[in-house]
Structure 1
């Protein structure tokens, strides 16, 4: 029989607690390492296009997630691969070598102008409504009275040339902030309506105009458009951001040269 205290009289409880914590911690690290490989893995060689071996330790078993609002299911890892042909040439044969866009670099979709192949559906709010919409569809929102309303202002590119006129603002209903300026490029450029991310724009109150350093005035007519005049899809958002981001390097040939 075991009487009071005899069961643990030769056991170091602190030592047991330390080992239990150590085993738990290593298990936690192993679990997190596996879960971190659900997106962006397995890695793909940028020279051969081959996938690295998934192995038997660090890669988790595929898990299927049901997306909200009837958007289907997605299984990760090993989701659909990006099979697009990219408009670029490599400057060297080794992995990780710099690339140079072919054709018009502003339309190549590589480097700072690259974009992810996201789902071609609008991002939505918790109740399933399109998240980013023009203000004309929701009169509840308005520009603060102490701010300059950019509607009607001319948009100028990095070269000081006009690229269009702001016709509306697009509001993020989940965050209650403006995401885009809707710009009409004018009859000379086919009167296209393009979206300008507000983070790329400076609203100059003194001169009452909108200034954009990322691209030239004539390049607004080249910006990606939306399929719907009142919605923007996730894929379109990435393409739009990639276009203006690419302009930071490719808008003029001199931007790709060294500073000295």
Structure 2
């Protein structure tokens, strides 16, 4: 027999190859199983419909500890999900949902949101990351940029919704996340995500929603910090506006 041969038909290289195949098959199974920790079991979308686990089945919950001392399970089958107000456009399974009531608050389509933790995102020292400039007085607007404070906010219909009174800065990323808008003719203030704003010399322009729709932007519990859940709902409101702000936006492009 040749060097490395165990029997006339089996040698070391052959055994190593079979071991690699077995390891690789186990690795694929493990990765597929771990992939089912988020998003499974899937909801069929039908009332009292089946829960789809897929293959492999959903693994046993694993406990994760976060830096701030909280713990969470993955998967957490008892975790509440974001609520929505919608109904299927057709009777077949998997039909898209259309909003019921105010489409910007219905929580469907581009306005869908997840039930994130109702606590502020924090830095390594436990302080809220996103705060207004009146709190983070050591931050400011760069001299070469337009400072939107004191300038009007225009909706997609060219109607003034209000005036920017402050900016909310992410102290970890060193960037502005929100503009705080004082609504016209009201003492109410709402937050405008900077990703939906275009700041120009004449003011801040928003294409996502109309001027009168700013009044229903979800509020924060505090005027000096924002929670992860509040961020989710506020961003979802503007996201919904990209499709539902006007009836024309829901029509085909062609």
TM-score (norm 1): 0.88
1:247 equivalenced with 2:241 (yes/no): yes
Contact map agreement 2:81 2:115 (CA 8 A) in 1: no
2:207 to 208, 213, 222: 213
Stretch of structure 1 that moved more, 47-56 or 165-174:
47-56
The residue number in structure 1 matching 2:195 is 199
Contact map agreement 1:89 1:99 (CA 8 A) in 2: yes
Contact map agreement 2:42 2:53 (CA 8 A) in 1: no
Q: CA–CA distance in 2 between the matches of 1:50 and 1:118?
A: 25
Q: How does 1:32-51 map to 2 (within 5 A)?
A: 32-51=31-50
- TM-aligned CA distance change 1:223 to 1:49, over 3 Å: same
Stretch of structure 1 that moved more, 101-110 or 112-121:
101-110
Q: CA–CA distance in 2 between the matches of 1:167 and 1:91?
A: 42
The residue number in structure 1 matching 2:19 is 20
> Post-superposition shift, 1:176?
1.2
Contact map agreement 2:85 2:99 (CA 8 A) in 1: yes
Contact map agreement 2:82 2:113 (CA 8 A) in 1: no
Q: How does 1:75-86 map to 2 (within 5 A)?
A: 75-82=73-80, 86=84
Report the aligned-residue RMSD: 2.2
Contact map agreement 2:84 2:112 (CA 8 A) in 1: no
> Post-superposition shift, 1:255?
1.2
Stretch of structure 1 that moved more, 52-61 or 16-25:
52-61
The residue number in structure 1 matching 2:217 is 223
Structure 2: gaps (5+ residues): none
Contact map agreement 1:118 1:234 (CA 8 A) in 2: yes
> Post-superposition shift, 1:31?
0.9
TM-score (norm 2): 0.90
Structure 1: gaps (5+ residues): none
- TM-aligned CA distance change 1:38 to 1:84, over 3 Å: closer
- TM-aligned CA distance change 1:6 to 1:249, over 3 Å: closer
Q: CA–CA distance in 2 between the matches of 1:45 and 1:212?
A: 36
1:131 equivalenced with 2:125 (yes/no): no
Q: CA–CA distance in 1 between the matches of 2:79 and 2:213?
A: 31
1:236 to 227, 230, 233: 230
- TM-aligned CA distance change 1:61 to 1:118, over 3 Å: same
Q: CA–CA distance in 2 between the matches of 1:215 and 1:84?
A: 22
1:140 to 114, 130, 138: 138
Q: How does 1:132-171 map to 2 (within 5 A)?
A: 132-171=130-169
